[in-house]
């Protein structure tokens, strides 16, 4: 039988069938700057430089997909919707001033066009460049802002949290604006070549809000975004950081095909609860194991994840969250080697 391409391996898994082995996809973007000798910041304003680093990562480290990102989609959209950014010399940009400073500011929020507003076209160009080079052999994952978290970028997380108690209508209205922007962005990146849209919603984590609040404020908007992405032709995935065990069922009800779970989630428990309905993706500790650990500890952690969740398929070995910029690439190599060695189905 001919060797499976990474694309076939990942899509076979998502369909619930058994591939040749467990796919391995670290959530790595800017850490690939190490391979091209470019700093985090130098690549920030150049689609060809970003694409070159992302492609070098997949080619040289051998994992099964490319997360086409660098700066977060939250930042890109927050700026495009009217927030002021600060650009530190040695770090990724941050929101300097929120566009919404009181409930009366909702009309100050701009509705961006992904093809022309602020730095959004740069991301579209990066996706197209990576697609041209990978030609469908490797699937492309692309982050899309979870509307609840994007709302927090627009008004400040503290203000958002207070408003969930004192002014829920404001939260709904702002999240609605964020949803509209996120849907347009999702459609545009799918059109540019993204195969799997990853709605990221870190502020909706059960580490931060109750399951009841998740159901009220975050889940309906996620459902809208993921449905739009799927209609546009992509596989929907949902990424929520931190502890999400209490909301695993609710996360599934957003219609996602993939659940990206962080290291705080017990994978075997997640497998038992929702492993028949979705593909689980996770969950080696990004900081303690990938950033600070050694190839040996990474191998052990990868084996443990495989042991917990690989049986019967529907599992992708990954980091729990973003791979930090300074992560030793030897650790990523160890992770890939572990999937190749211990994740075989045949």
Q: Least distance from C-beta 24 to Zn ion, angstroms?
A: 18
- Cβ proximity to Zn ion, 55 vs 281, nearer residue: 281
Phi, psi torsion values for 322, nearest 5 degrees: -40, 135
Sign of the C-alpha dihedral computed for residues 34, 39, 44 and 49 taken in this order: negative
- Cβ proximity to Zn ion, 241 vs 247, nearer residue: 241
With CB under 5 A as the contact rule, which of the stretches 7-15, 57-65, 180-188, 236-244 interacts with Zn ion? Answer: 236-244
Coil vs helix vs strand at 97: strand
Q: Least distance from C-beta 299 to Zn ion, angstroms?
A: 23
- Contact indicator for 345, 9 with CB cutoff of 8 Å: no
- Cβ proximity to Zn ion, 286 vs 299, nearer residue: 286
Size of the site for Zn ion (CB under 5 A): 2
With CB under 5 A as the contact rule, which of the stretches 41-49, 75-83, 178-186, 319-327 interacts with Zn ion? Answer: 319-327
Coil vs helix vs strand at 233: coil
Among 65, 321, 336, 338, binds Zn ion (CB under 5 A): 321
Chain-centroid distance of CA 163 in Å reads: 26
- Cβ proximity to Zn ion, 181 vs 199, nearer residue: 199
Q: Least distance from C-beta 267 to Zn ion, angstroms?
A: 15
With CB under 5 A as the contact rule, which of the stretches 102-110, 175-183, 265-273, 320-328 interacts with Zn ion? Answer: 320-328
**In terms of Cα–Cα distance, which of 226, 224, 225, 202 is closest to 214?**
202
- Cβ proximity to Zn ion, 124 vs 198, nearer residue: 198
- Contact indicator for 117, 124 with CB cutoff of 8 Å: no
290 DSSP assignment: I
Among 225, 241, 284, 339, binds Zn ion (CB under 5 A): 241
Identify the residue whose tokens are 């989630």: 265
Phi, psi torsion values for 50, nearest 5 degrees: -60, -50
With CB under 5 A as the contact rule, which of the stretches 158-166, 207-215, 237-245, 323-331 interacts with Zn ion? Answer: 237-245
Q: Least distance from C-beta 183 to Zn ion, angstroms?
A: 21
- Cβ proximity to Zn ion, 177 vs 201, nearer residue: 201
Return the ∠ at Cα 225 (arms to 220 and 227), rounded to 5°: 90
**In terms of Cα–Cα distance, which of 162, 239, 245, 251 is closest to 201?**
239
DSSP 104-151: GGGGG-----TTTSTTHHHHHHHHHHHHHHHTTSS-EEEEEE-HHHHH
Could you say which residues in the range 86-145 bind Zn ion, by CB under 5 A? Answer: none
- Cβ proximity to Zn ion, 81 vs 323, nearer residue: 323
- Cβ proximity to Zn ion, 69 vs 114, nearer residue: 69
With CB under 5 A as the contact rule, which of the stretches 78-86, 159-167, 172-180, 321-329 interacts with Zn ion? Answer: 321-329
Q: Least distance from C-beta 205 to Zn ion, angstroms?
A: 8
Chain residues in the site for Zn ion (CB under 5 A): 241, 321
């Amino acid at each position: 039988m001919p060797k499976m391409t990474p694309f076939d391996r990942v899509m076979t898994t998502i369909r619930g069938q058994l591939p040749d082995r467990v796919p391995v996809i670290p959530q790595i973007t800017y850490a690939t700057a190490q391979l091209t000798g470019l700093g985090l910041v130098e690549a920030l304003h150049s689609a060809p430089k970003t694409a070159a680093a992302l492609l070098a990562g997949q080619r040289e480290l051998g994992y099964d997909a490319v997360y086409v990102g660098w700066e977060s989609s939250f930042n890109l959209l927050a700026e495009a919707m009217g927030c002021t950014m600060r650009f530190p010399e040695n770090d990724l940009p941050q929101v300097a001033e929120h566009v919404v400073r009181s409930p009366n500011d909702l009309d100050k929020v701009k509705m961006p066009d992904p093809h022309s507003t602020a730095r959004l076209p740069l991301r579209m160009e990066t996706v197209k460049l990576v697609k041209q080079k990978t030609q469908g052999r490797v699937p492309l994952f692309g982050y899309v802002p979870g509307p609840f978290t994007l709302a927090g970028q627009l008004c400040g997380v503290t203000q958002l949290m207070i408003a969930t108690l004192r002014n829920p209508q404001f939260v709904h209205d702002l999240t609605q604006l964020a949803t509209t922007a996120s849907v347009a962005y999702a459609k545009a990146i799918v059109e540019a070549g993204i195969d799997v849209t990853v709605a990221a919603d870190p502020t909706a984590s059960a580490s931060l809000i109750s399951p009841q609040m998740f159901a009220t404020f975050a889940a309906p908007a996620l459902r809208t975004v993921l449905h739009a992405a799927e209609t546009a032709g992509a596989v929907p995935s949902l990424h929520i950081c931190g502890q999400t065990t209490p909301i695993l069922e609710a996360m599934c009800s957003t219609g996602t095909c993939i659940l990206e779970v962080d290291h705080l989630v017990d994978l075997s428990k997640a497998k038992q609860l929702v492993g028949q309905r979705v593909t689980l993706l996770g969950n080696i500790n990004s900081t303690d194991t990938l950033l600070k650990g050694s190839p040996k500890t990474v191998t052990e952690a990868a084996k443990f994840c495989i042991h917990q969740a690989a049986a019967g398929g529907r599992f992708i070995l990954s980091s729990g969250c973003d791979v930090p910029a300074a992560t030793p690439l030897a650790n990523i190599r160890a992770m890939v080697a572990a999937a190749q060695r211990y994740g075989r189905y045949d």
